[in-house]
């Protein structure tokens, strides 16, 4: 989660600059619009404010939250369905029995 947020804060602006540099076309007089990455970043901040550097961040955050919710839901289901059975088998002698029990519990939960 922290790594994903750090990615959104640190890497998205560099990606926006990179994409703008790649899309930079030659303007009148044979010159390019941006002279370099720093010039591109400053131009974006001047014309679009600091928010311009975070274009597309919504997609990154959506992906991050989707992954987090999927992980949490899977963990919660596994914990809820299998914890009672695992407590009875403290040595975990037969992992296959535990997995089969969990599958049955999940299947029964979906049928309700």
pTM of the model: 0.53
Backbone angles phi, psi at 26, to 5 degrees: -75, 125
Helix/strand/coil for 24: coil
Does 71 reside within a domain? no
**Residue 82 to residues 6, 11, 86, 99, 105: CA-CA distances in angstroms?**
34, 39, 6, 8, 8
The count of domains in the chain is 1
Does 42 reside within a domain? yes
pLDDT band of 42, cuts 50, 70, 90: very high
Using a pLDDT cut of 70, give the percent of the chain over it.
79
Mean pLDDT confidence for 33-59: 88
Angle, helices 37-48/12-22, rounded to nearest 10 degrees? 100
Residue-range definition of the domain harbouring residue 12 = 1-55
pLDDT at 24 over 70: yes
pLDDT in tens, 71-91: 887 777 666 666 655 555 554
């Amino acid at each position: 989660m922290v790594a994903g947020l750090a990615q959104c804060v640190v890497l998205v602006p560099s990606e926006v600059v990179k994409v703008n540099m790649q899309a930079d076309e030659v303007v009148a007089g044979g010159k390019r619009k941006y002279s370099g990455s720093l010039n591109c970043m400053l131009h974006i901040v001047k014309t679009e404010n600091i928010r311009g550097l975070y274009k597309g961040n919504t997609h990154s955050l959506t992906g991050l939250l989707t992954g987090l919710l999927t992980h949490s839901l899977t963990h919660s289901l596994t914990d809820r369905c299998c914890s009672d059975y695992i407590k009875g088998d403290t040595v975990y002698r037969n992992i296959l029995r535990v997995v089969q029990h969990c599958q049955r519990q999940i299947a029964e939960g979906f049928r309700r």
